[in-house]
């Protein structure tokens, strides 16, 4: 892996920066900068995806023949970092970063031709149907049934923690089509339109008050067998492939670098207990420096992994390492931000932010008053949202078990 910058990459950085400066509207930039979690406001996110798609940059990690870009590892890193610095929201991960990869890998030509262009354009907005009330990190225990009837499967059961199910018009689901043998052997990967009769979406309020997660109920939902991705009863292989992209298919470090820089700048404006700025507090400064070092280590690790993928390799078990390090560092940074925000950070002020879903049971002040700086209003909401980071996508305890078994042979 060569980390030296070459003239072409410097020119690319200038091109990306100029693109963001020209195309990123104040409305979209504000929405991206004021996100409370990893999910942007839906409407603003879709507006931004349309702009990216017009430029051909909506899904740069895809294969070129499907609409991606032939970028180097460094170019992908540059694009990610410039996006965060500019305040642009990310595209929703469920379609472009997750199900699209398994459609491209396991799908029939007809499935690729139908779904991939619609994912790029945003016509199809996806949610993920993996977890169930009794099946989370132990995903192989899932029970949602899909019974064969002629050319269809009839699906019954429910999925939970389904992000943006209220906005999505498609869901990719793991369903049980066979109860014999090992649990993993009877699972099928199914693509289901959300407007199919028998589907109900029930919003769930998160600890931050936002309704981003949902429980989705399936009551005799008929799905054509043509919507199976891969083979019937062999969806576990498809699911594992997708989880590589959910857990570590993209770099965490660019956003963490930017967030640390913003936190350091904010801390420099705040007065600490010793009379100077908060950065003059040796304990806080040491914790901030430690976070910078850990993010630098993650950055090098991610570049090594992404470089291997560029050369035709697979993220594989290393996705577990990236997921553990990325989510735990993100949580640590929100803890530092909450500490820096001080008493002002205890105020509940979602009206100062652009959350990824409706905020229930909250009446904003008539005059829009915000105590302190906006970043102090963001701090507690980001802190609460990031508590889930080490759980979703397979809990970090499960990731450590995978590493112990697969990488260390324990």
DSSP class per residue in 39-90: S--HHHHHHHHHHHHHHT-S-TTS-GGGT-----HHHHHHHHHHHHHHTPPP
Instruction: Give the pLDDT band of residue 389 (cuts 50, 70, 90).
Output: confident
Instruction: Give the pLDDT band of residue 3 (cuts 50, 70, 90).
Output: low
Pairing verdict, β 199-205 and 228-229: unpaired
Is pLDDT above 80 for 265? yes
Instruction: Give the pLDDT band of residue 248 (cuts 50, 70, 90).
Output: low
HEC profile of 325-341:
HHHHHHHHHHHHHHHHH
Mean pLDDT, range 340-368, rounded to an integer: 91
Averaged pLDDT of the chain: 90
pTM assigned to the model: 0.86
Instruction: Give the pLDDT band of residue 234 (cuts 50, 70, 90).
Output: very high
Residue partners of 32: CB distance under 8 A and separation at least 6? 40, 44, 48, 86, 87, 88, 89, 90
Compute CA 174 distance to the chain's CA centroid, rounded to the nearest angstrom. 19
Is pLDDT above 60 for 247? no
Instruction: Give the pLDDT band of residue 93 (cuts 50, 70, 90).
Output: confident
Please give the pLDDT value at position 309.
Answer: 63
Instruction: Give the pLDDT band of residue 314 (cuts 50, 70, 90).
Output: low
- C-alpha 366/C-alpha 368 separation (Å) is 6
Handedness of CA 235, 66, 301, 83 (dihedral sign): negative
Domains of the chain, earliest start first: 7-91 (1.10.540.10), 126-235 (2.40.110.10), 250-407 (1.20.140.10)
- C-alpha 263/C-alpha 147 separation (Å) is 52
Tens of pLDDT along 28-77? 999 999 999 888 899 999 999 999 999 999 999 899 999 999 888 788 88
Mean pLDDT, range 201-225, rounded to an integer: 95
* Residues paired with 172 in a beta bridge: 128, 191
């Amino acid at each position: 892996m060569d980390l030296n910058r070459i003239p072409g990459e410097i020119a690319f950085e200038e091109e990306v920066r100029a693109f963001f400066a020209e195309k990123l509207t104040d409305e979209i930039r504000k929405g991206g900068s004021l996100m409370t979690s990893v999910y942007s406001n839906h409407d603003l996110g879709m507006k931004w995806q349309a702009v990216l798609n017009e430029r051909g940059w909506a899904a740069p990690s895809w294969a070129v023949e499907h609409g991606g870009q032939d970028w180097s590892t460094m170019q992908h890193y540059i694009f990610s970092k410039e996006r965060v610095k500019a305040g642009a929201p990310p595209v929703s991960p469920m379609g472009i970063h997750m199900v699209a990869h398994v459609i491209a890998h396991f799908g029939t030509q007809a499935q690729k031709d139908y779904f991939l262009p619609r994912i790029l354009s945003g016509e199809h907005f996806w949610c993920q149907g993996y977890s169930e009330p009794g099946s989370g990190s132990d995903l192989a225990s899932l029970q949602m049934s899909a019974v064969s009837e002629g050319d269809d499967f009839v699906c019954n059961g429910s999925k939970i923690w389904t992000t943006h199910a209220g906005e999505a018009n498609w869901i990719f689901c793991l369903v049980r089509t066979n109860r014999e043998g090992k649990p993993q052997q009877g699972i099928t990967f199914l693509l289901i339109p959300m407007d199919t009769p028998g589907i109900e979406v029930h919003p769930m309020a998160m600890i931050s008050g936002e309704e981003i997660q949902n429980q989705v109920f399936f009551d005799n939902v008929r799905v054509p067998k043509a919507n199976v991705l891969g083979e019937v009863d062999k969806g576990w292989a498809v699911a594992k492939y997708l989880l590589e992209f959910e857990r570590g298919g993209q770099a965490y470090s660019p956003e963490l670098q930017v967030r640390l820089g913003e936190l350091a700048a904010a801390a420099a404006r705040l007065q600490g207990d010793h009379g100077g700025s908060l950065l003059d507090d040796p304990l806080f400064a040491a914790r901030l420096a430690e976070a910078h070092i850990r993010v630098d280590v993650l950055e090098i690790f991610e570049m090594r992994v992404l470089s291997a993928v560029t050369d035709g390799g697979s993220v594989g078990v290393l996705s577990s390492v990236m997921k553990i390090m990325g989510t735990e560092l993100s949580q640590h940074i929100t803890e530092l931000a909450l500490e820096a925000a001080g008493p002002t950070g205890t105020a509940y002020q979602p009206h100062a932010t652009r959350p990824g879903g409706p905020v229930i049971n909250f009446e904003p002040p008539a005059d829009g008053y915000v105590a302190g700086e906006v970043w102090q209003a963001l701090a507690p909401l980001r802190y609460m949202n990031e508590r889930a980071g080490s759980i979703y996508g397979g809990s970090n305890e499960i990731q450590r078990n995978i590493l112990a078994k697969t990488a260390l042979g324990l």
